[in-house]
Structure 1
Amino acid sequence: MGRNINGEFEFDVIRHKDTAAAWSQELKVIFVLRGNGWLHTEEGDRTYAISREDIFVINSFQMHSVVLEENGLAISLSLSPSFLAAASPETEDRNVNCKSFLHEEEKQQLFDIIRKDLALAFRAWYKKESELSIHLRSRVMALADDLYRYFSENVENTGRESGRERLRAAVEYIHRNYREGITLADLASQTYLSTSYISRSFQKYMGVSFTGYLTQVRLFHAALLLQGEGTVTEIAYESGFSSASALIDAFKQYRGITPGQYRRNLGKRPVTDNAEEMKTAEGFSMAFVSLMKYADKAEEAAEPVVTGVCEISVSTGIVKRQLRHTWKTMINAGYARDLLNASMQNQILDIQKSVGFRYIRCKGVVDDDMMLYSRDVNGNSSFNYVYLDQVLDFILSAGAKPMLELGHMPSAMAQKKVQFFKRPSFISPPAELEQWRLLIESLMEHLIGRYGMEELKKWLFVPWISMDMHLFGLFVKEDFGEIYSVTYQEIKKACREFVICGPGTTLLSLEAAKWFCDLCRERDCIPDIFTVRSYAAIDPEEEKSGLKLVENNESFYMAVDGDEDCLMHLRRKVKDFLEAEGEGFCGLPVLMDEWSNNIWQRDLCNDTCYKSAYLFKSIMENHDSYYGLGYFSISDQLDEIAPAAEAFHGGFGLFTQNGIAKSAYRAMQLLSRAGDKLIAKGSGYFITASENEIQIFLHNYCHYDMLYRYRNTTNLTKTRRYKVFQEKAPRSFHIQLEGVRPGRHEVRRYGIGRKGGSAYDAWIDMGAPEPMTKEEEKTLMRLSSPVYRREEAEAEGLLKIKASLMPHEVCLITISI
């Protein structure tokens, strides 16, 4: 899950059916997050019942097993002997006797200290409270100090640890092959130790014979299997026992009961209130709350807030480069039918007036709700373009050009009636490809007849949906190839100058992307613009964090990427890919046709001022590196999942479904004021200039913490949404502008943060009313404007500007010149 840089300590998660090693050289601190289970140790050959919030320690080289019930979950922190010895050599001669479950509630005060220490250490790790490892090490060291202060006891030094270390290869072989008929001779051949040495060493250093150790390992696995429905005979053979009788005898010898009694006891365990997965209404796990409440209650002296200072010296007379502001090339409006909604139209008109995008992209052009294609009772096809014409007329009236994704598939034409989303969108190849071709032919004839050839040359066409949808088993890539190539040919047959975009890939599968390029060369259907998309999502297995992604049925099975610069890194990846593909693809413009901070449509952080900082960072750092950055999307009115009753429900949009501007929209408004000359750019700042003004853009972005990236949270509610980020200090910027004309200059400051510019935070200050009255909605619209201040500054060839930003805050400073 998480190991520190020198392998000194490691956090890990223990789940049902995870088999903890029977021994290890590390000291382990284990806290039960939820559910019940059992701890079996070599001391007195004891088995203990464990439950939620129990905390206990497994000493170095202590044989043990931890078994959890089906919904059980625990967290462990392993401390290496070298880490403990470096801190205090005396620990080598001491064990820790810490088992909270042996004591009554009134005697838990000392154990609460250990719980608090573990919670603070875990928080320091997953929130990255400091860039320096010394902070995390100090938290872990405090835990070790309290363990040995309150729970240590002297042990006789018998050389057991070094002896056990020599047996490591033998023990590991047993754990890998316990199902087989292992003998001393097998171990000797595997470890190059004599059989007599192995036999003596097991008894001397492990406190049990070789046969006894092997039997206990098999028992550990048998106990796990007894939680299932297998018969005793099946479990005996699966665990390495020669017969059911052998398993029964071993259970009686080491557990004092039969396997049948053990299984019956499992069924008698009381079901606690925590037996079921605890989730928020939005589907986020609350599994770590039981531990992290001890961090919240910790009575620590307030630590001083350290502010990072960024000193910037800029010559205003030197222009780095001219800016094209390609992030304003395109924005997503969602599904075509939504553009007939008056509220959506007002939102689009708002953003076009304040920002002004060249293209408005809409999906679902041939979905059933557009009523574009149907068949009568005799099977005859008919086409109706009324709704589509209204959508296109509106986009043009808003001062933009359409970018049309010709998807998904009319139900009357679909091979399979597969609805991936809640809305009537069928993701399927056509039953007859010729019918699809005729649909595209008819569509192009209609568009040319209504809008003219020259107008359509300014539009963008996407032949079908994203190629990546085949990764979810909705169709095979060969189906995509057929539909894409046929559609491409029909569009180009109408006019070779019509602009085609594709394939809308995340490049998660390079193999599929290469296949697409080969197909395009083979069938002469290379797109004019290569399109990619990013929702900062990764396969949970890719990161090997050890955390389990909390699933729900309204999100793809993806975690949020820990890479804060994933947009930048994706652009480099795409560039390298296209260059490697060579002919036809090298040098193609790259359009990000969809992007956002994650794939979750109910991420409550989407409503907060975090999103404004995310947009500032993403657009500033990737300015003009793409042909366009198509943010997804304008509005929360997106019917891919069931609509939410609440205004601030965590949707993708820049506006709530009732038209309230979020902080993300306010951020776009500020960014649209950038000049056409780049003066300076760096971590957290972007300075531009126009003819009579300098614009300074600043942000203090904070990324999601490790737990939240996997949909786990310790404290996220509708009114508390800022505790799921990495710890970050306030940041100050000291900026010196050289070459400014002497005299007084007007300085204007616009800020977005929790104190202004964020409709969500204003809603919290209003008492979080739900549902809102019309008066409250109007008040929020007014309060969502950025904080504004005007001042004057004196320059004598040098102008000094200072600004301090709290986490998640952004700022625009304009200076008249």
Structure 2
Amino acid sequence: MLEERHEIIEFSPNIPLKIFMHKLGFVARHWHKSLELLMVLEGTIEITLDGTTYMLNGEDIILINSNSIHEIHSESAVMIALQIDLARMNQFDNSLENLSFDCNSSTSSDSGKFNGIRFTIATMIRENAHNAKGAEYKNYALCYYLVSELLSNFQVPTTEAMKTQQKYMVRLTRIINYIQEHYAENFSLSDLAESEQLSVPYLSNFFDKHMGIKFSQYYTNVKLSHAVNDLLSSDDSIEAIAIKNGFTESHSFVRCFKKRYEMLPSTYRKDKKMQGLNAPTPENLNYLLIEPSSYLHKLTKYLGNIDESFYNTSREYTDEINRSSISVASPMKELKHTFKKFTTVGRAKELLNSNIQSMLRDLQEHIGYEYIKFHGILSDDMMVVSRTGGKLQFHYVLVDMALDFLMSIHLKPLIQLSFMPKELASDLNKTTFYSAFNTSPPKEFSEWELLIEDFTKHLIERYGIKEVLTWPFCVWNEPVTPKSMFGFGNDNLFFRFYEITYRTVKKVCPEIIFGSPSILYMENLGSDIWIRNFVAYTKKHNCIPEFMNMHYYSDIIPSVNNQNFYIAHAASSSFPKRTDDFSLWIGSIRKIISSLNLPDIPIYLTEWNFTLSHRNLINDTCFKSCYIMKNLLKNYDRLDSFGYWSLTDLLEENALPDTLFHGGLGIYTMNGLRKNVFYAFYFANMLGNELIMAEDGYFITRKEDCYQIITYNYIHYGNLFASGELFDITETSRYSAFDISRRLQVNLGLEQLENGRYEIIEYFVNREHGSCYDLWISMGGVPLNPQDTNLLRGLCVPGYHKEYRLVEKNTLSYTALLEPLEIRFAEIKPV
């Protein structure tokens, strides 16, 4: 397995250093002009450096000098690598780039003298957790601090052997390049000697001496590494792969391969395929297991001895948005407020939970949604299907209780026909979620048809045809995901399943609206191909969906053939560095659906959140409310719904944690506290129906003679968090991914108002107001008893400000000074 690496800190061009995180397997012998510092975070590596082999374990450090030939073996070890260009740091010593260092903790009895280097690495990572002003200067200072540590503790004289090695680097580079360019031509040492105008014996000795390996062995290793890539990325025969990669015939290839990998090429290919390494999608990946990576957390202990002022930005910066001459008399457009089309809850069974019912009542009272999306209306926890004496029986007692409750709070259901009752399932072991749903296809399609027909008739009989015709129907959830989750492992089988379900519902009542299954569209996993194939099938078989049912999460889940470095025991995802990913995603999905030449059908976003992870700690912070506010306002009404997933952290998808603020996805905590994201929707619900003006940072509407303004100070997370690393984010300290020194002042000049006296009311949510997580931290961050919870419930309200202003000359200036990640609603109305 070759090396995989990812640059976790992107320095400016003026910084002569780069920091990568590596996941290592085998890295062939090579060299580079820059110094390279390696620090092991997890696992063990075997490194051969200038002919000597060392074993490095957790937190060991080794420095590779300029032009030192090295080779690395490991079983997926994870390490930090720093590449240092000393030639760009020679202000004080012109010979700096020619110095040598002996820095290897695995051979030293004094581990403490390496702590200065560990401290530097940790501090650099912390400094660049977000893009704070002035970080470039600290980075530059830290580069020189690192060089000072190397000079003080690890400098050694440059030996004659090192000088000789460097003298011949140009020739070695030419030789290695020749081998890489011509490896498939089965050339001989004499061909290489001729290209270098050297004798064969001299070249053989030269290569052996300076590379530390015989030419024939090195050449064979190069051919094998290319052959391994072909084994895993193609279905070519062993014979074809052997010839393609420079082996004279398959027997010699098999013999060399077996000597190197201790197995036959065919066995190696089979084993890797079973591990999912040759699949176009990660068949063994379950996104419910996604956890942020914490490899770098091991470095935080080396920050303990530094003055906090070094890496905390003490000065606050205030950015400004200045927009004058905004005419309130000329609205841009009418608003439909499609974000209120859908809310969501985890599963049908949860609708019978009194705590969740209370949360839904609160949500409806203060916002008021039209539809609700949930899973599992037919699953075994709803006790729908039984079999007596071989005969199927259907029972809808719990279903009716759930739907009756929804009717009582004026919520209409999206009838997602899922999941498979065990009496109908083809595979009893194919389940997902902690409280398991069966996600296998039906054993007999005819029995599934019986259930769907009977269930549809029951809904019409109980709730009336007029009501049911207002309910959208669909079947299944995210069939694009692997078989280990919701997918069938066979797209055509699912397409047939969809068609049968569609026809069965339409047979009962052709006027029922039937849409696509819920589709998780993630660009890097190629889900657009699935969408195109699905729609092509529905056109061919005359079962075209009447709405598209989409899911968005910003996670970048690595595909198996391009796994990111930090995938290890649990899955992990990274996040977009671009701040407008959601807007671009909407554009992409609209373009895809437009290209399919479908009728003009709604595009419902029925699941939407920043991340799929139920355990990402920033889910509880003010980032979430600001992220939702920004993306909702920037894309207002661009889709026909924006169904935030999910109502509450009380989800039965994963085991429920003991901690209240565990990074859950909900609008409410498990015990019903409103999280800060609640107020993003609450503020949006108070907007008027006419849009006056909208740009980054603010959104202005009108309702009769009143004006509503939402402002927000969105701060994007830094590149380190974007790579999937939490680093020093902990349960009680969760804002280090953001530059929280940046305040924002929004200055808006409203014109053409009626003169007179106006009342301005403001509500705001920030770390001091309306964020139950931050209030919990201010209370000590300790476990809450019922009395504490009730106190927190009473305190967790937005901040409030009210004033009166006199408008003359038909002009009013409105100013909002926003704390980092604050959202603010203001209404201006005549008195």
AA at the equivalent of 2:71: S
Match of 2:698 among 682, 685, 696: 685
Aligned to 1:712: 725
RMSD: 3.8
Aligned to 1:578: 593
AA at the equivalent of 1:165: V
* Counterparts of 2:316 and 2:156, CA distance in 1: 39
* Counterparts of 2:764 and 2:256, CA distance in 1: 68
In structure 2, relative to structure 1, the CA distance for the partners of 1:184 and 1:539 (3 Å cut) is same
Q: How big is each residue's C-alpha offset from its partner over 1:125-160, in whole Å with a ceiling of 9 and x where there is no partner? A: 553446x99568636743565367545577589696
* Counterparts of 2:125 and 2:16, CA distance in 1: 14
* Counterparts of 2:202 and 2:756, CA distance in 1: 91
AA at the equivalent of 1:494: V
Aligned to 2:659: 646
Structure 1 unaligned blocks of 5 or more:
223-233, 244-280
AA at the equivalent of 1:405: Q
| Shift of residue 521, structure 1, vs aligned partner | 0.7
Structure 2 unaligned blocks of 5 or more:
1-5, 225-252, 263-288
The 10-residue stretch of structure 1 (294-303 or 355-364) with the greater mean CA deviation from structure 2: 294-303
| Shift of residue 608, structure 1, vs aligned partner | 2.3
* Counterparts of 2:204 and 2:129, CA distance in 1: 41
Match of 1:412 among 415, 419, 423: 423
Secondary structure (helix, strand or coil) at the match of 2:438 reads coil
* Counterparts of 1:41 and 1:511, CA distance in 2: 47
Aligned to 1:114: 117
Asked if residue 694 in structure 1 is aligned to residue 710 in structure 2, the reply is no
Q: What are the equivalent positions in structure 2 for 1:474-485 lying under 5 Å apart?
A: 474-485=488-499
Asked if residue 517 in structure 1 is aligned to residue 524 in structure 2, the reply is no
Aligned to 1:536: 554
Aligned to 1:168: 173
* Counterparts of 1:89 and 1:543, CA distance in 2: 45
Aligned to 1:665: 678
In structure 2, relative to structure 1, the CA distance for the partners of 1:795 and 1:195 (3 Å cut) is farther
In structure 2, relative to structure 1, the CA distance for the partners of 1:639 and 1:683 (3 Å cut) is same
Asked if residue 566 in structure 1 is aligned to residue 581 in structure 2, the reply is yes
In structure 2, relative to structure 1, the CA distance for the partners of 1:213 and 1:80 (3 Å cut) is farther
* Counterparts of 1:626 and 1:147, CA distance in 2: 56
In structure 2, relative to structure 1, the CA distance for the partners of 1:775 and 1:25 (3 Å cut) is same
* Counterparts of 2:694 and 2:213, CA distance in 1: 68
| Shift of residue 285, structure 1, vs aligned partner | 4.1
* Counterparts of 1:135 and 1:534, CA distance in 2: 38
Aligned to 2:735: 722
Match of 1:185 among 185, 190, 195: 190
The 10-residue stretch of structure 1 (6-15 or 733-742) with the greater mean CA deviation from structure 2: 6-15
The 10-residue stretch of structure 1 (167-176 or 682-691) with the greater mean CA deviation from structure 2: 167-176
Aligned to 2:349: 337
Q: Verify the 8 A CA contact 2:131 2:739 in the aligned structure 1.
A: yes
Match of 2:776 among 763, 788, 791: 763
| Shift of residue 371, structure 1, vs aligned partner | 1.5
Asked if residue 739 in structure 1 is aligned to residue 759 in structure 2, the reply is no
Q: Verify the 8 A CA contact 1:367 1:425 in the aligned structure 2.
A: yes
Aligned to 1:287: 295
Secondary structure (helix, strand or coil) at the match of 1:428 reads coil
Q: How big is each residue's C-alpha offset from its partner over 1:683-717, in whole Å with a ceiling of 9 and x where there is no partner? A: 22222222232222122334444454565322233
The 10-residue stretch of structure 1 (361-370 or 535-544) with the greater mean CA deviation from structure 2: 535-544
Asked if residue 91 in structure 1 is aligned to residue 96 in structure 2, the reply is yes
In structure 2, relative to structure 1, the CA distance for the partners of 1:710 and 1:13 (3 Å cut) is closer
Aligned to 2:764: 751
AA at the equivalent of 1:381: L
Aligned to 2:318: 307
Match of 1:440 among 421, 435, 452: 452
| Shift of residue 379, structure 1, vs aligned partner | 1.1
AA at the equivalent of 1:621: K
AA at the equivalent of 1:73: V
* Counterparts of 1:355 and 1:401, CA distance in 2: 15
Asked if residue 791 in structure 1 is aligned to residue 803 in structure 2, the reply is yes
* Counterparts of 2:142 and 2:215, CA distance in 1: 33
AA at the equivalent of 1:142: Y
Aligned to 1:360: 372
The 10-residue stretch of structure 1 (121-130 or 485-494) with the greater mean CA deviation from structure 2: 121-130
Aligned to 1:60: 66
Aligned to 1:19: 27
* Counterparts of 2:181 and 2:19, CA distance in 1: 23
* Counterparts of 1:785 and 1:668, CA distance in 2: 14
The 10-residue stretch of structure 1 (59-68 or 32-41) with the greater mean CA deviation from structure 2: 32-41
* Counterparts of 1:543 and 1:133, CA distance in 2: 35
| Shift of residue 292, structure 1, vs aligned partner | 3.9
Match of 1:77 among 64, 70, 82: 82
Q: Structure 1 length normalisation: TM-score?
A: 0.83
Q: How big is each residue's C-alpha offset from its partner over 1:391-449, in whole Å with a ceiling of 9 and x where there is no partner? A: 11211111121111010111101111121122241101111111111111111211111
Secondary structure (helix, strand or coil) at the match of 2:816 reads strand
In structure 2, relative to structure 1, the CA distance for the partners of 1:240 and 1:363 (3 Å cut) is closer
Asked if residue 462 in structure 1 is aligned to residue 477 in structure 2, the reply is no
* Counterparts of 1:657 and 1:397, CA distance in 2: 23
Asked if residue 138 in structure 1 is aligned to residue 156 in structure 2, the reply is no
| Shift of residue 603, structure 1, vs aligned partner | 2.3
| Shift of residue 545, structure 1, vs aligned partner | 8.9
Secondary structure (helix, strand or coil) at the match of 1:730 reads strand
Secondary structure (helix, strand or coil) at the match of 1:518 reads helix
Q: Verify the 8 A CA contact 1:11 1:78 in the aligned structure 2.
A: yes
* Counterparts of 2:449 and 2:211, CA distance in 1: 76
Q: Verify the 8 A CA contact 1:656 1:662 in the aligned structure 2.
A: yes
Q: Verify the 8 A CA contact 2:375 2:416 in the aligned structure 1.
A: yes
In structure 2, relative to structure 1, the CA distance for the partners of 1:138 and 1:541 (3 Å cut) is farther
Q: Verify the 8 A CA contact 1:532 1:590 in the aligned structure 2.
A: yes
Q: Verify the 8 A CA contact 1:558 1:599 in the aligned structure 2.
A: no
Secondary structure (helix, strand or coil) at the match of 1:611 reads helix
Match of 1:614 among 610, 627, 632: 627
Q: Verify the 8 A CA contact 2:293 2:572 in the aligned structure 1.
A: no
Q: Verify the 8 A CA contact 1:174 1:214 in the aligned structure 2.
A: no
Secondary structure (helix, strand or coil) at the match of 1:549 reads coil
| Shift of residue 629, structure 1, vs aligned partner | 0.7
Aligned to 1:383: 394
Q: How big is each residue's C-alpha offset from its partner over 1:657-700, in whole Å with a ceiling of 9 and x where there is no partner? A: 21111111122212211111212222222222222322221223
Q: Verify the 8 A CA contact 1:751 1:757 in the aligned structure 2.
A: yes
* Counterparts of 2:366 and 2:576, CA distance in 1: 31
In structure 2, relative to structure 1, the CA distance for the partners of 1:80 and 1:398 (3 Å cut) is same
Q: Verify the 8 A CA contact 2:761 2:827 in the aligned structure 1.
A: yes
In structure 2, relative to structure 1, the CA distance for the partners of 1:90 and 1:198 (3 Å cut) is farther
Q: Verify the 8 A CA contact 2:129 2:718 in the aligned structure 1.
A: yes
Q: Verify the 8 A CA contact 2:34 2:65 in the aligned structure 1.
A: yes
In structure 2, relative to structure 1, the CA distance for the partners of 1:186 and 1:735 (3 Å cut) is farther
Higher RCO structure (Cα 8 Å, ≥6 apart): 2
Q: How big is each residue's C-alpha offset from its partner over 1:457-487, in whole Å with a ceiling of 9 and x where there is no partner? A: 2111113333323565544222221221122
* Counterparts of 1:387 and 1:645, CA distance in 2: 29
The 10-residue stretch of structure 1 (735-744 or 677-686) with the greater mean CA deviation from structure 2: 735-744
Secondary structure (helix, strand or coil) at the match of 1:510 reads helix
Q: How big is each residue's C-alpha offset from its partner over 1:476-530, in whole Å with a ceiling of 9 and x where there is no partner? A: 2222212211221222233333212213223342222111111111121111111
* Counterparts of 1:134 and 1:185, CA distance in 2: 52
Q: What are the equivalent positions in structure 2 for 1:251-262 lying under 5 Å apart?
A: none
